[in-house]
Amino acid sequence: MLESTTLSVTHVAEELLRLPSVERRATRSLELLLQASGARQGFLFILRGRDLVLGARIADDDLPPRMETQAWAVVDAALGEDDTTGESSAETRSAWLGSQGREYHQVLIARNEGGKFVVVALAILIAEEDRAWSYPFEIVGEVARVGFASFDQALATPP
């Protein structure tokens, strides 16, 4: 993992483009999101058709089942957004409180493609009480654009 806490868009693109498989890109994407956010643990779910599939995990414990349900609600709400404005009619929380003072932050990984809002993945990053949390705005777009770009056709069709 990189030592620096500042990631450039160019660096993220270079990191992800050199990886040959969606599994490796998912893992590296999660590592980069953790680094940029200050979180230590997290999960990355990939959207395949209408299913969320766990693509990467860096965590000591399993994700609580209710968090998985809430994760799907976030994606479902995003899929119902207006294609041009990105506005959603559903209300979602940006963080959910879990046990041991942990906050579970959802990071929707999506891009604008030809005026259409395309969701490719959802990360759930776990913030600890003793560590500052920062939404990884600076790299989310690049993860969506580069991390999954050449795999979109495979991701859109369930195996």
Q: Where are the domains of the chain?
A: 9-156
Separation between Cα atoms, residue 157 and residue 43, nearest integer Å? 21
Express as a percent the part of the chain with pLDDT over 90. 23
> What are φ and ψ of residue 36, in 5° steps?
-70, -25
What is residue 84's predicted lDDT score, i.e. its pLDDT? 40
What is residue 81's predicted lDDT score, i.e. its pLDDT? 58
Please choose, from the candidates 102, 87, 94, the residue with its C-alpha nearest in 3D space to the C-alpha of residue 39: 102
In this structure, what token pair is assigned to residue 134? Answer: 């920062």
- The upper half-sphere exposure of residue 89, i.e. CA atoms within 13 Å in the direction of its Cβ, equals 4
What is residue 123's predicted lDDT score, i.e. its pLDDT? 94
What is residue 97's predicted lDDT score, i.e. its pLDDT? 64
Q: What is the CATH number of domain 9-156?
A: 3.30.450.30
Q: Is the pLDDT of residue 85 over 50?
A: no
